[in-house]
DNA sequence: GTAACGTACAACCAAATGGTTGTAGATGAG
DNA sequence: CTCATCTACAACCATTTGGTTGTACGTTAC
């Protein structure tokens, strides 16, 4: 199986973006109606610039989008990003199930043919 | 809603652990049979110590477990960790669906009562 | 017993991260 | 027009991260 570098880098960005409680909170806050950056910044005990950076990280990971609204910038959650991340984790669980299943099969075979104690 | 600091820190660790392609690969490799640390290290173009550190990060995030086997240390994937992370993402999607649904309702109301163009 | 193996851990380094302040450019309100 | 607001971005700083090498210690094989 060839490693898909692009996809890997994308996943790095998505998980990294989620690895910060402020950013997770931002995603929650901008889900639905959306908010401008200042509106977001008011909720956190940090500078406007810091919030701006967090939004930039989320944007690079395609978890939110920014849209100009006059002098404001409307930040909104991007559902596709969330879904992609979730699917990846489901994939890992699928691998787990598959391998765990294979082992169960092997054990079952062994039992059926009395190989567990030669 | 009170912020659950413990849980937040836990999520930080889980997502951070996943935010590295080597670590994601390690999780795949130790799903099922498990592998000792040297066995893992052979697959990567980096030092044994580096792989050891990656395993430590995964262990702190409860995504893998280590188990002594004589002089070796068997690394195995911990399904619970994976499942927890996936559920969290599903939760975010649920928030999305809920709010998106509410908006859809509001829009529907508006249309029904002719509020969209006063 | 000794040599080879598998692991643990410390010390170090470059680069990335998460925060700050400060400056400057657009846009909207009065 | 002028002023307040919203945003963008650079420069800086402390800490964390992801990697290295080197050393030490328990276990297994011969």
Residue B105, pLDDT score: 58
Residue A23, pLDDT score: 97
Total domains in chain A come to 1
- Output the average pLDDT for chain A: 83
Mention every residue, 6+ apart, whose C-beta is less than 8 A from residue B2: none
What is the CATH number for A63?
1.10.10.10
Is residue B79 domain-resident?
yes
Q: Are A21 and B8 an interchain contact pair (Cβ–Cβ within 8 Å)?
A: yes
pLDDT confidence of A117, banded at 50, 70, 90? Answer: very low
Host domain of residue B69: 5-112
Nearest residue, CB atoms, B82 vs list A3, A83, A96: A96
Residue A65, pLDDT score: 95
pLDDT tens for each residue of A59-78:
999 999 999 999 999 999 99
Write out chain B residues lying below 8 Å of A86, CB-based.
Answer: 86, 89-90, 93
CA–CA separation, B98 vs B54, rounded Å? Answer: 37
Task: Answer whether any strand D atom is within 7 A of the Cβ of A49.
Answer: yes
> Tokens 């909720």 map to which residue?
A43
B45 by DSSP, 3-state: which?
coil
Write out chain A residues lying below 8 Å of B27, CB-based.
Answer: 92
Residue segments in chain B with a per-residue pLDDT below the cut of 70: 1-3, 100-118
Is residue A13 domain-resident?
yes
């Amino acid at each position: 199986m060839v490693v898909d570098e692009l996809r890997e880098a994308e996943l790095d960005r998505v998980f990294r973006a989620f690895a910060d409680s402020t950013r997770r909170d931002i995603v929650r806050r901008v889900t639905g109606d959306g908010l401008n950056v200042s509106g977001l910044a008011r909720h956190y005990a940090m500078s406007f610039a810091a919030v701006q950076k967090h939004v930039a990280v989320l944007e690079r990971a395609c978890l939110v989008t920014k849209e100009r609204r006059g002098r404001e910038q409307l930040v909104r959650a991007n559902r596709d990003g969330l879904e992609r991340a979730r699917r990846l984790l489901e994939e890992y669980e699928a691998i787990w199930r598959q391998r765990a299943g294979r082992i169960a099969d092997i054990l079952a075979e062994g039992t059926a043919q009395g190989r567990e104690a030669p």
